[in-house]
Amino acid sequence: MVARDFVVSPGSEKGRSTLGERMVGFHVEYTLLGLIDSSQARFSPIPPTVHVEPSLFVVRQSVRRSGEASRRVEESVGWRIEETVPEPHLGVDAAIRYATELRANARDVAVRRNAEKMLAALKRFR
């Protein structure tokens, strides 16, 4: 999926996960522009539509490190998405780089031609 105009809401604490980790929620909004079929190097534009992902929740992962005998230190090692991971989306510039690579590596003339058409279509969204 190719999208642009990504907006992410400020995170807000949503409580704790089932494992007791701090959970933060976000809303993600973007404009969906079309789909790429990488097997044929085809881009199928759709009328630009605003899409809002339902709340995306992340939890802070941490590891307990043993320090001195009298204290244990908890160290943050990053965040992970809780529940369903959203489908990947490409921004327009990343989609153009991908189409350029498809064109450069295509062995089939039809695929190379499709990649060229995809590039032209994607460049109109810049």
Name the region of 122 (left: φ>0; alpha: ψ -120 to 50; beta: rest).
Answer: alpha
More confident residue, 44 or 9: 44
| Bridge partners of residue 31, in order along the sequence | 4, 50
Give backbone dihedrals phi and psi of 52, rounded to 5 degrees, phi first: -120, 120
Count structural domains, the chain: 1
CB atoms within 10 A of CB 17: 16
Res 59: pLDDT: 83
List pLDDT tens digits, range 46-75.
Answer: 998 888 876 778 887 766 666 555 555 566
Alpha carbon 26 to chain centroid, angstroms: 14
Domain residue limits at 108: 2-123
Reported pTM: 0.71
Query: DSSP per residue over the chain, as a string?
Result: -EEEEEEEPPPEEEEE-TTS-EEEEEEEEEEEEEEEETTTTEEEEEEEEEEEEEEEEEEEEEEEEE-STT-EEEEEEEEEEESPPPPP-B-HHHHHHHHHHHHHH--SHHHHHHHHHHHHHHHTT-
Q: What's residue 67's pLDDT?
A: 59
